[in-house]
Amino acid sequence: MTYRKISESEISYTELMIPSYANFGGKVHGGILLSIMDKVAYVCASKHSDNYVVTVAVEGVEFLSPVEVGDLLTVNARVVFTGNTTMIVGMDVECYHTQTKTRRHTNSCFFTMAAKDQSGQLMQVPGLIITNKEELLQFNEGRHIREMSKRKRIVFEENEGTTNLQEIIDACSAEKCRIELQA
């Protein structure tokens, strides 16, 4: 088993937010931001694994403040957790407004990436060398994210075969919906 320091694959990427990125509300479209974060996660994870990687999951993307056209968007990324074939990349995203010279945190998120060999088979990734308290805390957070993801899959698999309509109606009737099933 090989191990790498987190700093070996850590990256920072900055891009100018241009008018073609705007949505109908005049702010940068969330899909554009997700695409940029996916590319950054790819670079970070492929640097750590020295291989081709694919996106497995996206966790915890909550847009805290809008990104404006003209902002300089910076994504700081690092591998915070490694499994056998997967890596969790933690990202902090901030914007810098050049005219007001202000910075603001727009979101933090985690992308789970899997390494694949040339034939497309999953392959083992290097472990992490933890060198300070911050890295240890982030590794632990990544460990919790992996466990949450596993539990989420179990819940979905258990409920996948649920066909008892009365149970579903009872569970959903407390939510904000009106059930008008047609025969």
pLDDT at 180: 85
Question: If the chain, 183 residues long, is cut into consecutive pieces of 10 residues, what is the mean pLDDT of each piece?
Answer: 95 98 95 97 98 95 94 98 97 95 96 96 97 96 94 82 77 84 81
Nearest to 28 by CA among 44, 17, 12, 38: 17
pLDDT at 83: 96
pLDDT at 60: 84
**pTM of the model as a whole:** 0.89
Beta strand 86-97 pairing with 72-82:
antiparallel
Superfamily of domain 3-172: Hotdog Thioesterase (3.10.129.10)
pLDDT at 92: 97
pLDDT at 162: 66
pLDDT at 170: 83
Torsion-angle region of residue 43: left (phi > 0), alpha (psi -120 to 50) or beta? alpha
Backbone angles phi, psi at 85, to 5 degrees: -120, 0
What ranges do the domains of the chain cover?
A: 3-172
